[in-house]
Amino acid sequence: MKEFDIAFPIQHVPTEAELRQAAGRALGVRPERVAEVRIVRRSLDARGEILYRYRVQAVAQGEQLEKYQLPAYKDVSGADPVIVVGSGPAGMFAALRLLMEGRRPVVLERGKDVHRRKTDIAAANQQQRINPESNYCFGEGGAGTFSDGKLYTRSTKRGDIREVLHQLVAFGAKESILVDAHPHIGSDALPRIVEGIRHCIENHGGEYHFDEKVVDLQPVSDGHQHGWKVLCAGGAVYEAPQVILATGHSSHDIYRLFASKGWPLEAKGFALGVRAEHPQSLINRIQYHSKFQPGMPAAEYALVEQVEGRGVFSFCMCPGGILVPSATDAGEVVLNGMSNSMRNSPWANAGIVCSVEPGDVPDFDRYGVFALLEFQHAVERAMFDFSGSLQAPAQRLVDFCRKKDSQGLPRTSYQPGAVNAPLYELLPPPVFERLRVAFAAFDRKMKGYYTNDALVLGTESRTSSPVRIVRDPETMSVPGLPGLYPCGEGAGYAGGIVSSALDGILVAAAAASVAPTQG
């Protein structure tokens, strides 16, 4: 097998014949003697002429390219159950892995199925009404359903990302996600995929229960068998030898439950700041060096700067995307970004956030392990208290950095709207001071980024969980609580769709490797 790189202008889709020609050259055989050729990676190169660079694998006659084979889902009707709390990427991929392992997933989800959830998402955008059980974070598919669906991760160490990507393709994602360097799905396609995953789980004997908010977890034992009783807000009780807890970073009640029982939690750093929204045309001009043409993908960016010992970085950049209200409760303003598969809105947005570590906010130390959680909430509340609604306090970018009030705001994609505000005062000073330094530095990396045509809005605060549920790295369960498996972003072991899915797979495999009677 030979692996080689080849580049074509961005608008040119390479033909089979062209790939075979190139493969023949790489293998040292005539094109007719090339048995198989396969693109394994595609990345955009805008440094000079705008090209797609392809990594290609090929074999000559007599050989075969290795094929990735997804493990099969088993019929698990009648098999021992594993309760999965939360149907986000961690919960869904844990449940799919349980099917492969021959265990029966019983998924409990506080929110609604994806169709009913859409009504609540619309209410947040149009009527500024947050349903605390069904919103951009809670409901079928979790926080990943109405998102950009970016599928990049740096956490390849955690597992085989192919298991995630191949399943997404099997449930309807474009095949290009298997090769794109920066794959994304888009929020127009995600609901269908999420629903397909549910149907697969149910068709193989698993269960899904919506509107089931887990409020208590009780270990049970009859001397031989250990397990868990899971109590829901509506009174339903479920029992299983094992529970996977994949409740996401906004399920603060689960952290409180752990604290009330004296179960182990630890503080963890996270990042907080603003969403910056630029005209996409400006980002295209900068990133494509004025060579952007219709048909090219909306340009992305990733920026990072160290300022006084803390990282300031772009987070969850959404090219051709929109801003959305991702609060989970009344009285808080939280922003995030999403896009559809075409990424064709006139805006580019990204969180520009500053990392905050335990010990950075001494005023909140009295809250112990919840210091950063309370700090996060205080900032979200300060934004709401200023606007009195889901409208986001906002300023033009340069004015923000110069602590100058803005004269009028540019249009924004954020449907609840932006309200002119001294955002520089509403943010905690150490965060604001680092952001202003970083924004100026970003302009040296992307000339034209630092402009008053861009809007900054508060606040981007749910970058990851500021609390971690302790788990044993060997057993993957909570020390002293066999059979209870914290999982995904909420447990503090992932950040993003793919890493959460990978963690779900890892945890499900660990849970399934334990005989049910051992708990």
Classify each residue of 496-509 as buried b or exposed e, where b means 16 or more C-beta atoms within 10 Å of its C-beta.
Answer: bbbbbbbbbbbbbb
28: left (phi over 0), alpha (psi -120 to 50) or beta: left
Does residue number 81 form part of the binding site for ligand FAD (CB under 6 A)? no
To ligand FAD, the closest distance from the beta carbon of 438 in angstroms equals 21
Cα separation values, 147 from 140, 142, 188, 478, Å? 13, 10, 9, 30
Question: Among all chains, which residue has been given the structure tokens 């919506």?
Answer: 210
57 vs 376, beta carbon nearer ligand FAD: 376
Pick from 246, 392, 478, 508: which binds ligand FAD (CB under 6 A)? 246
Residue 144 touching ligand FAD (CB under 6 A): yes
Q: Which residues does residue 37 pair with via DSSP β-bridges, in sequence order?
A: 58
Distance CA 176, CA 169 (A): 9
d(C-alpha 437, C-alpha 298), whole Å: 27
12-41 residues in contact with ligand FAD (CB under 6 A) are none
- Of 186, 193, 173, which is closest to residue 87 (Cα–Cα)? 193
Query: Which of 42, 150, 204, 396 is the binder for ligand FAD (CB under 6 A)?
Result: 150
Task: Provide the minimum distance between the beta carbon of 90 and ligand FAD in the complex, in angstroms, as a whole number.
Answer: 3
Q: Does 287 bind ligand FAD (CB under 6 A)?
A: no
Contacts of 362 (CB under 8 A, 6+ apart): none
Comparing CB distances to ligand FAD, the nearer of 482 and 492 is 492
Tell me which of 338, 383, 431, 508 binds ligand FAD, using CB under 6 A.
338
| Residue 86 binds ligand FAD (CB under 6 A) | yes
> Exactly one of 6, 103, 109, 300 binds ligand FAD (CB under 6 A); which one?
109
Rounded to 5 degrees, φ, ψ at 256 are: -65, -40
Q: Which of 204, 284, 313 is nearest to 10 (CA)?
A: 284
- Return the closest-CA partner of residue 467 out of 230, 258, 215, 314: 258
Q: Which of 159, 297, 320, 490 binds ligand FAD (CB under 6 A)?
A: 490
Among 275-283, 347-355, 400-408, 488-496, which window interacts with ligand FAD (CB under 6 A)? 488-496
Rank residues 162 and 403 by Cβ distance to ligand FAD and give the closer one: 162
Q: Do 477 and 454 contact (CB within 8 A), yes or no?
A: no
CA distance 475 to 485: 9
Q: Find the binder of ligand FAD among 206, 248, 273, 319 (CB under 6 A).
A: 248
| Nearest distance in Å: CB 238, ligand FAD | 11
Task: Output b/e per residue, 189-215; b: 16+ Cβ within 10 A.
Answer: bbbebbbbbbebbeebbbbbebbbbbe
Minimum Å distance from CB 380 to ligand FAD?
A: 14
Q: Which residue of 89, 105, 183, 186 would you call a contact of ligand FAD, by CB under 6 A? A: 89
- Please say whether the dihedral angle defined by the alpha carbons of residues 356, 502, 52 and 276, taken in this order, is positive or negative: negative
**Which helix (H) or strand (E) segment is 486 a member of?**
strand 484-486
Binding flag, residue 319, ligand FAD (CB under 6 A): no
**Least distance CB 336 / ligand FAD (angstroms):** 4
Residue 145 CB, nearest approach to ligand FAD (Å): 8
- DSSP strands (E only) in 237-369: 237-240, 242-245, 265-267, 270-279, 304-307, 310-318, 322-325, 335-338, 347-356
Member of 254, 312, 354, 394 binding ligand FAD (CB under 6 A): 254
Q: Does 136 bind ligand FAD (CB under 6 A)?
A: yes
Of 34 and 510, CB closest to ligand FAD: 510
Query: Of 60 and 231, which has the nearer Cβ to ligand FAD?
Result: 231
Binding site for ligand FAD (CB under 6 A): 85-91, 108-111, 136-139, 142-144, 146-150, 213-214, 246-248, 251, 253-254, 316, 324, 326, 336, 338, 488-490, 494-497, 500
